[in-house]
Amino acid sequence: MLDTNSKIYIAGHRGLVGSAIWDNLLKRGYRNLIGRTHAELDLTDQYAVRQFFDEERPDAVVLAAAFVGGIMANNLYRADFIMMNMKIQCNVISESYAHGVKKLLFLGSTCIYPKDAPQPMKEDSLLTSPLEYTNEGYAIAKIAGLKMCESYNLQYGTNYIAVMPTNLYGPNDNFHLENSHVMPAMMRKIYLSKLIHDRDWTAITRDMTKRPIHPDANLSSLIGEDRIDGQSSRERILKALSFYGISDNTVRLWGTGTPLREFLWSEDMADASVHILLNVDFKDIVGTEKYSSVFYGTKADGLVDRNNSGGRGGAIPSLGEIRNCHINVGTGKELTIRQLAELIVKVVGYEGTVEFDASKPDGTMRKLIDVGKLHSLGWTHKVDIEEGVQRLYDWYRQSIEDCRF
């Protein structure tokens, strides 16, 4: 059991979810928190990660760090997505075990589920059919991560829990046009289109200063620059924005707008994560009295607990298959991408046109998760999508207002 004096390392503590988990723990009285920026600790560097664990010796670890992006980035940088995430996970999980970490929480993604999984997707849908092609690399890495947690628990009696959040959004979200997820990308595009129509160059300059564009080769050849920010000419800014489907009162979005998506407010995800970190153990997920021997086996089993975790340290073949011990985290509610766009249009006060480019990929057509296991463990979401979109827009606008140029 973790108390308020426990040392907790949050990998990815400045990210969307990691920062929210940090704040949630602080509000609960947990002050002994550790965080490292990427510049301070490269989690893909095995030696650096080992040295960090040697020095800090955390009691618990939250693995919220990942190499992430939207459909375009996932499809373009397939090798990077699988390699970078596998390195991060292998380094952090293996060093957590080697240093006797009592509890680990691994954050994955619901993209682990097959493209055509029955809806809503239960945890048991994992590995039942092919994945969505466009984010296959990231999904495979996350599946490997949750299987590492599950396997360490079964072999060594550790207490590592994997949670699979649905699409997340909230404070500290990534609004960069090159690699952001669907909601922040859509919100920024609609907002910038409105600003162009309003001829509000002060706000556009603030926005581009806060979140400059780092063009790929195609855009660089079009605009003749390798960076677009608030100091760039109006002509080049407009060309760059047009490249991403943003013009005067017109926004072009990828796909048909018909895919259904579920969204979870990041601070809700943080609250669910902390609830599980503090109150849920592997034995609670496995469930039955029969399986409790995974944690409470006797010396007669002939297996040794190498992690001093109170577990038995080895799977018992007679128990049969123990799998899909991860936990879905979401709302159990969904809306179409077109409905999301309409909601953002309303919140932003946009009076222009939103067009959908059906020649671009939609991705998975539906990704609703079953949250029955999560509810049975004592947690449900609090922020619905209408409130969350307004909160996100308010945060985004404030982040721009705070920018000085």
Question: Catalytic site residues?
Answer: 138
In single-letter form, the type of residue at position 365 comes to: M
Structure tokens at 276: 């599980």
Supply angle C-alpha 295, 301, 306, rounded to 5: 60
Which DSSP helix (H) or strand (E) runs through 357?
strand 353-357
Nearest to 262 by CA among 181, 200, 319, 195: 181
CA dist 152 and 139 (Å) reads 20
User: Are β-strands 167-169 and 263-265 bridged in parallel, bridged antiparallel, or unpaired?
Assistant: parallel
Q: Which regions of 12-59 does DSSP assign to beta strands (E)? A: 33-34
Q: Which regions of 221-343 does DSSP assign to beta strands (E)? A: 246-247, 250-254, 260-261, 263-265, 327-329, 335-336
CA dist 123 and 285 (Å) reads 11
Alpha carbon of 239 to those of 164, 220, 361: distances in Å? 38, 11, 23
CA dist 63 and 92 (Å) reads 8
CA dist 172 and 167 (Å) reads 15
DSSP annotation string for 130-182: PPPGGGHHHHHHHHHHHHHHHHHHHHH---EEEEEE-EEE-TT----TTT--H
